[in-house]
Amino acid sequence: MSLDTKKVGDKGEQIASEYLEKHGFEIIERNIRFGRMGEIDLIAKDGGVTVFVEVKTRKNLNYGEPEYAITKSKMNQIKKLANAYLYEKKISEIDCRFDVVTILYDENGKKKLNHIANAF
């Protein structure tokens, strides 16, 4: 991953955090890594629900809409990471869901944000 790609991703996660907080979410954790298994971008609370949020940011459409980067394989990985997080924190019997926040910049640098609640 190039440094530029990392910067774009980090900026996207910051934008997503601010958006979610503005809409009543409480951000609990960011960038939770589980070794080689991967990373959970954001973990938030929406009322009594724990929300695992995947953030995808694109500078252009060269690789398609950001939503299409969330493949079945990626969904399964995020679910495994969420289970690992809950196990590690000894959390059980809670309501959870998986949201996706996508950010796409147009040629003028203007961003379009899409929040898909309960995406999978």
Confidence of residue 1 (pLDDT cuts 50, 70, 90): low
In which domain, by residue range, is 46 found?
3-116
pTM of the model: 0.92
Answer whether residue 63 shows pLDDT above 90.
Answer: no
CATH of residue 69's domain is 3.40.1350.10
* Whole-angstrom distance, CA of residue 18 vs CA of residue 25: 9
Confidence of residue 109 (pLDDT cuts 50, 70, 90): confident
* Whole-angstrom distance, CA of residue 101 vs CA of residue 94: 22
Mean predicted confidence (pLDDT) in 62-75: 92
Number of domains in the chain: 1
